[in-house]
Structure formats: C-alpha cells, structure tokens
Amino acid sequence: MAESKPRMIFLGPQHPGAPGNVAFKVWLKGEKVVKAELVPGFLHRGFEKMMENRWWEVDVVLSPRYCVEDPDNFELAYVLAVEDLFGVEAPEKAKVVRTIVAEMSRIQSHLFWLMHMGGATGARYIPGWAMAAREEILKWYDYVTGHRIYHHYMTPGGIRWNIPKDFKEVTLRALNKVMPIVKDIEDAFINNRILRARTEGIGVVKGYVAVQLNATGPTLRAAGIKYDVRKVDPYEAYRDVDFEIPTGTEGDAHDRIVVRIREIYQSKRIIEQLVERVKPEDLNYRVKMPLLPPPSLPWPAVARHGEGMSRVEAARGEAMVHVVGIKDRKPYRVKLITPSMPLLTTVMDYIIEHEDITIADLPIIVMSLDPCPPDIDR
Amino acid sequence: MALKALLLGMKYLFRKPYTMLVPEKEPPMTTERTRGRHLLDMSKCVGCRMCQMVCPADAIKMYKVEGDFKRNPKKIFPGIDFNRCTFCALCVEVCPTGALSMTDITGWYMTTTDTRTNLRSPYDLAAELAKNEKPDFRITITKQTFLYQTKKKG
C-alpha cells in the first residue's frame, strides 16, 4: 500500500482529552501522532494591558485570575513585585499567612489536576474523590478569606484581613480531611497496575533536556533536576521551614504524577510547621503602603519610579512578574511570565519528536504535564 | 494491588454521597466572612466617589437620589451593578465613612424571587418606606432598579 499523507484533526478545546481552553492540531499517520501544534488564544483577556489601566492595589484583583486553578501563587507573585518596587516589607505574620494560603493553593491545584488525570486515563472514580478533597480546601478558603476561588486576600504590604480566631484548628481540620483522601487516591490510582502500564515510559523528558526545553515545576523535578524557587531563592516564610524537593528518576508521565503527589505531602508539612507560628491576636499584619491618594488629589502624594521583580514557585512551575512604575497611580507595564507555555510547545514537540506515541497516549501526556491554559493566553 | 484498589472502591461505594443538595436541602455554604451583596448606609455616605474610582470591574455608578441627606449635599450614592461586580470588597475597604458594608447574600439568594429569603421585592420595600415617617434604611442600587432594604435593628 502506498504511504498515505498525514491527516490533520483538531483536538479540543471542548474535548475531554484537552486540558481546558486550548486546542491542538494533531497530524496523524494511522494511529501514530506525527506532529501536534498548539492553538492558544481562546481565553485571551489581555491582562497585561488591563493591569496598566488600573491602580496598583486594584491589580491584585486581576492577578489571580490568569490561572483559575492556582490563583494564590500568582497573586503572591504580583504582590511581591509591587512590594519590591515600593521598597516595602510585609510584617512577619503576613508573610507566614501568605505562605500558608499559597501552599493550600498548591494542594488544591494538584487535586484539581488529579481530577483531570483520572479523567484522561479513564479512571472515573478519581475525579469524584479529588474534587471532594478540594472542596474541603475551598471551604477553608471561604472561612479564612471570604471567597472560594479568587480570594484577593493578599495586598501589597500584608494581608487584607486578620485571620480568624480558630485559624490553627480550622486549618489542621481541613488538612486532616484532605489527606486520607489523597492517601486513598495514592493506593487506588497511582500504584494501580493499569495506570502504571499506561504512563510508564511515556512522555520522557529526562535530565538536562528539560532545562533546555524551558520546563519548570514538577516537570523539571520529575526529570531529575532538583530545582525549586522556594529553595533556590526563598521568598516569604520559606526560608525557615523544613521541607524536601521531591524529584523523579525516569522523567516519564508516571514520575510526574508521583512527584505531584509527594508535593502535596510536602505542602502539608510546610503548613503544619507554619500554622504554629501565627497568632490571631497579633494585629501587625498590614503595612500601609503609599498607594492611596488623599481624596482631594487625583494622584498620590508618593509615587515610585523604577521597577520591581519577583518570582515564585507556582503549582505548575516558576511564575515571574515584572512591574515598571513611572511615578504614576497605575503601573506603566506589567509583564507576566507564566509556567505553562513551554509545557505545551517545546516539551510537547520534543516528546512527539523522540517517541512513538499514539492518539490514545496524547491526553495522558498533556495531562501529566499539567498545563493551565488560562495562563498561556492571559 | 488490584484487590486493594477494589476494596477502596467498595469503601467509597457504601459511603454517603459527598454531593449536597443546595438550596433544596441545605443552605448555601457561607461563612461569617463570605463577601456577598453590598449594603449602603445612606445616612453615612458623603458621595465622595472613592468606591467608583477604586472599582476594578467598573461596576459602580453614582446615582442621584432625592431626599434629605445632610452629609451628602450632592445627593449622589453608589449604585452597584451586580452583573459586573467581582465582590473584591475594595470599595468597602476604601470607603472613608464606613457607609458601605457587605452581607453574606450571594449566588442563589441574589437572584431568587422566593419570599422566604431576606431579599424582598423593591416594590414591597418602597411601599414600606413610604409608610414610615422617618425611614431608617439602607439602599443598594442595581442597574435597573433601586432596591431598598430595611436596616436590621440590633
């Protein structure tokens, strides 16, 4: 039979195998995937431009919204960049509480990803369990911050409200409800023979190649490289907490799954250490920043000229925010660097080029990379 | 290993479902801090427009309201379009007189016409206001209608 030409099909954005609001153009030869091209832009809202048209402290409301699944780490990145520009340091209590909130966000993001991963592999029982565990964290968020998904709890200079009186008990109770479910998922899903057969040896990105492909986060750590911004360049309260960086050895899809599960345990460890250090009666949780103008003037009394930069370890990798101020009430420029873009472009291309993968493997590889389409589009 | 997964599945099979029937069986999940519908104390509002300036979603417009408001000579009050509002509470934070506050009325409660809830129809409330000689009330204004809400005592 004559060699046929590759056939192009669209995967997504409404396909259960697609990670959300992105599509792929997939070229197939029979069942084999020859090439996959990312089609982003379905969720482009122009955050960088929108942020230029709002006040410094108002942009906090926009900053979590470019990644639905892991809002607080991105909020923290923006807040840290603004603090860097204005030369303000948040009080110790605010730093600790922000770290707890960011770690909770990491746990809920990984649980959300577990739902996708279970869906992609056809393990229909996992989404229900993972979302039930995530719900406990969302309830905790509602109790502490007042909202479930986008919290707007941080602000340049601290946190917006004091923590509730029974913060420690509520936090530990939420963790104690989540962790047994994570353990069950680990037993029933991660060590499951079917999942191992479908994920082991697939989507291998190993060693230094991951650095060259610009991958960060769990994908990089599963490749065997011990890199975590929380350890390399500690921010907030990560300096004085004791935790490990889980790494993989093979760099395949299964390693990435295991690394994320182990990260949930490490996040729990961080929260348990930090929760002892915050006291609700301590009222020093917010420093007044020179942001608000007196009501009679349309511009602030103090404005900054310069730039601020921050980077944080979000659930999907390194997020960076660069802000430029020109003595104005509003930022001159906000540049967001988010972790998901390389995962679906360079890493995906590398995997497809170096491996024989079929159309059935594609959703598993995409989900194991855990991209967040909103932060690609912004 | 396979047996273990099966046993775990059985464990979850005999459990009560996690799903809750909101609002049929259980009330919406709100806490003390839940940020919901706004309340405006019209006796405190000075019409400074700070809430309008700070709003990230551009949901607040100033409306002129007739009446005797000593602290508000321009007689302009914020009206919040709940179709745009993100409930970030920046307007509450920025309000210099503390006139704006937030309730825990969210989601379903905001849209319902159910008489059992604390949200009453604007016509009923307006009629009630007209009866009182010295009305002690708070107001929230949406795009289309003025919704009056009586101030809870105590």
pLDDT digits (tens, 9 = 90+) for A246-277: 988 888 888 999 999 999 999 999 999 999 88
Query: Which of the pair, B70 or A100, is modelled with greater confidence?
Result: A100
Element (H, E) at B125: helix B122-131
Task: Please state, for a pLDDT cut of 90, what percent of chain B lies above it.
Answer: 0
* Residue ranges covered by each domain of chain B: 30-150
How do residues A75-102 score in pLDDT, each as one tens digit?
999 999 988 888 888 899 999 999 999 9
Coil, helix or strand at residue A35:
strand
Q: Where are the alpha helices (DSSP H) in A53-206?
A: 59-62, 71-86, 92-121, 125-144, 167-185, 193-199
* Mean pLDDT across A178-205: 87
Is A294's Cβ below 8 Å from some Cβ in B?
no
Average pLDDT along chain A: 86
The mean pLDDT of A114-123, rounded to a whole number, is: 85
**Alpha-carbon distance B68 to B75, whole Å?**
8
Nearest to A188 among B5, B54, B89 (CB): B5
- Position with higher pLDDT, B153 vs A29: A29
- Average pLDDT of span B60-83: 78
> In Å, how far is A189's CA from the nearest CA of chain B?
7
Structure tokens at A68: 């639905």
Q: Which of the four pLDDT bands, split at 50, 70 and 90, describes residue B136?
A: very low
Q: Which residues of B touch A145 (CB under 8 A)?
A: 33
Cβ pairs A/B, distance under 8 A: 68
The DSSP string of A332-364 is SEEEEE-SHHHIIIIIHHHHHHHS--BTTHHHH
The pLDDT value given to residue A99: 92
From the options 1.10.3720.10, 3.30.70.20, 2.60.40.10, 3.20.20.70, give the CATH code of B30-150: 3.30.70.20
Q: Can you give the pLDDT at residue B117?
A: 41
| C-alpha neighbours within 13 Å on the C-beta side of residue A56 | 32
- In angstroms, the CA A313 to CA A320 distance is 9
Residue A172, pLDDT score? 92
Structure confidence at residue B121 as a pLDDT band (50, 70, 90): very low
Among the listed residues B31, B5, B53, B44, the one whose alpha carbon sits nearest the alpha carbon of residue B103: B31
Confidence of residue B142 (pLDDT cuts 50, 70, 90): very low
Query: Hey, is the C-beta of A197 within 8 angstroms of any chain B C-beta?
Result: no
Binary contact (A164, B87; C-beta < 8 A) = no
Q: Are A59 and A331 in contact (CB under 8 A)?
A: yes
Contact (CB<8Å) A150/B33: no
> A128 and chain B: CB distance < 8 Å anywhere?
yes
Selection from A112-126, A251-265, B43-57 with the highest mean pLDDT: A251-265
- The per-residue pLDDT for B59 is 83
| Partner-chain contact B2 A193, CB within 8 Å | yes
Instruction: At B21, list the tokens.
Output: 């029937």
Residue ranges of chain B whose CB lies within 8 Å of a chain A CB:
1-2, 4-5, 8-9, 11-12, 18, 29-35, 48, 50, 54, 56, 86-90, 93-94, 96
Beta carbons of A293 and A256 less than 8 angstroms apart:
no
Element (H, E) at B122: helix B122-131
Q: What does the mean pLDDT of chain B come to?
A: 69
Report pLDDT for A140.
Answer: 92
> Which chain B residue has the Cα nearest residue A152?
B88
Span of A24-33, A175-184, A229-238, B97-106 with lowest mean pLDDT: B97-106
Task: Report how far Cα B49 is from the mean position of its chain's Cα atoms.
Answer: 19
* Phi/psi at A358 (5° precision): -100, 175
Asked if A6 has any chain B CB less than 8 Å from its own CB, the reply is no
Contact A192 B2 (CB under 8 A): yes
Average pLDDT over residues A96-114: 92
Would you list the DSSP string of B55-116?
A: -TT--EEEEE--S--TT-TT-EEEEE-TTT-----HHHHH-TT--EEE-S--HHHHH---TT
Put simply, the answer to whether B29 touches A139 (Cβ < 8 Å) is: yes
Q: Which residues of A touch B91 (CB under 8 A)?
A: none
List, in order, residues 6 or more apart from A1 with CB less than 8 Å away. Answer: none
Contact B86 A54 (CB under 8 A): no
Helix (H) or strand (E) holding A273: helix A253-274
Helix (H) or strand (E) holding A159: strand A158-159
Averaged pLDDT, A231-240: 88
pLDDT reading at B123 higher than 60: no
Structure confidence at residue A280 (pLDDT) = 85
Query: How close, in Å, is residue B13 to chain A by CA atoms?
Result: 10
Asked if A252 and A209 touch (Cβ cutoff 8 Å), the reply is: no
Residue B137 is predicted with a pLDDT of 44
What's the confidence (pLDDT) of residue A192? Answer: 82
Q: Which fold has domain A43-361+373-377?
A: Cytochrome-c3 Hydrogenase; chain B (1.10.645)
| CB contact (8 A) between residue B33 and residue A161 | yes
The tokens of A110 are what?
A: 């990984």
Query: Does residue A160 belong to the interface with chain B, where contact is any CB pair within 8 Å?
Result: yes
Residue of higher predicted confidence among A100 and B20: A100
By the CB < 8 Å criterion, does A240 face chain B?
Answer: no
Q: Please give the pLDDT value at position A77.
A: 92
pTM of the model: 0.85
pLDDT bracket for residue B111 (50, 70, 90):
low
Q: Quick one: pLDDT band at residue B86, thresholds 50, 70, 90?
A: confident
What Rg, from alpha-carbon coordinates, does chain B have?
A: 21
Residue contact B4–A187, C-beta within 8 A: yes
Between B24 and A245, residue with greater pLDDT: A245
State yes or no: pLDDT of B132 exceeds 90.
no
Secondary element (H or E) of residue A36 = strand A32-39
> With pLDDT > 90 as the criterion, what percentage of chain A qualifies?
17
Interchain pair B90, A58: CB under 8 A: yes
Cβ distance B18 to A292 less than 8 Å, yes or no, reads no
Share of chain B above pLDDT 70, in %: 63
A49-64 mean pLDDT: 88
What pLDDT is recorded for position B68? 74
Report the distance separating Cα A241 and Cα A292, nearest Å.
Answer: 34
Residue A302 — very low, low, confident or very high, per pLDDT cuts 50/70/90?
Answer: low
pLDDT of residue B152: 40
Residue B1 is predicted with a pLDDT of: 63
CA distance A169 to chain B (A): 16
pLDDT bin (cut points 50, 70, 90) of residue B62 is confident
